[in-house]
Structure 1
């Protein structure tokens, strides 16, 4: 699935920041991986590399045979739209759109016709247990329900990889557990590869594999 080779990311400004340092990493098809580490250690930068949201200063980020670091901007946009789903700590829902309309925004770049978009979006909401809230605005939903909408939006295009950045960071403990259980069910049923950044060790322990990143260097967690 993923093969990272000697990946380095350096930010230059008033001072030079080595966010990633010579990272070598393999992530296999269907793995559920948690990434932990201190603030500023490189967790979000690594996730951005995996998602093609940023390019490394040097090295290779290969996903299913394509080096994301070397794709053209157009090809990279298409790869993200087709293969990658994203879930963030802040749900990033459009407040004036209903739940089903928010989910459907992920299908617009793929040119899916409106009727098919609506059908698939409703099915995605049903898969996360929110079919009956399809016509509700984000402001009418709880935090956990909004995160479920965000997960449905990530999954509606049927990606092979789901990347999650602190997906339970804004949730109470009970709702956190519900969201993690949902991700586990989707992982098992759909055969997704899931890579999740989390500060919460209780969440990380649920993963199949745990990585730690500190000072831009990745290691396997015990």
Structure 2
């Protein structure tokens, strides 16, 4: 699925050079569930952006099914993201003037899916995350947890191979955090996704089969015995 070799990302901060990623080597197999943890500024979100083709490395290669995302044209990269990768973020990124169903449908527009089929698939996706009765609600009419469920439905409606989540519970309280993590883990199993999540929450990290810790742009990997036994 993913093969990262020597991935480096450098930024300039005034006269200073910052190494957000410092030669990352990482393999993620199809169907893996990996959590990325580490201190603020350690490179977690930067690594996730590389996996999603949202940013390019300064050096190194990011292979997804043998295709190097680092060398693709912007047009081809957009196509790969639209077809193969679903994203869930801490801020739900819903369009406030669109209903839950319409927000989910937006993920299918770039794929050329016809209107009737978009509506059907969006309704099914919302049903799968427990929001079958909220299709016509605007984001302002939904709780934070419900808005994140809409965002998850939007990520999954296009049937991606990969689901990338960047602090998906960061804006939620503890009880809602557990609900959303349970939902994501259930969908990972149901759909056979490759699932990578960035989190600062150790309780979430302990649940994952694999844990990557990033500090100062360098990665350490370990296998977990998940607390839930999955």
Fold conserved (TM > 0.5)? yes
Structure 2 CA distance for aligned equivalents of residues 170 and 191 of structure 1: 27
* TM-score (structure 1 length as normaliser): 0.99
Matches within 5 A, 1:49-64: 49-64=50-65
Instruction: Establish whether residue 192 from structure 1 lines up as the match of residue 193 from structure 2.
Output: yes
Runs of 4+ displaced beyond 4 Å: none
Instruction: Establish whether residue 143 from structure 1 lines up as the match of residue 144 from structure 2.
Output: yes
Partner residue of 1:220? 221
Give the paired residue count: 222
Q: Deviations over 1:35-84 (max 9, x none)?
A: 00010000010000000000000100000111000111111000000000
Unaligned runs of at least 5 residues, structure 2: 224-230
1:4 Cα deviation (Å)?
0.1
3-state SS of paired residue (1:109)? helix
Matches within 5 A, 1:1-222: 1-14=1-14, 15-221=16-222
Structure 1 CA distance for aligned equivalents of residues 161 and 209 of structure 2: 17
- What RMSD over aligned residues (CA atoms) do the two structures have, in Å? 0.8
1:163 Cα deviation (Å)?
0.3
Q: Deviations over 1:165-185 (max 9, x none)?
A: 000000011100000000111
Unaligned runs of at least 5 residues, structure 1: none
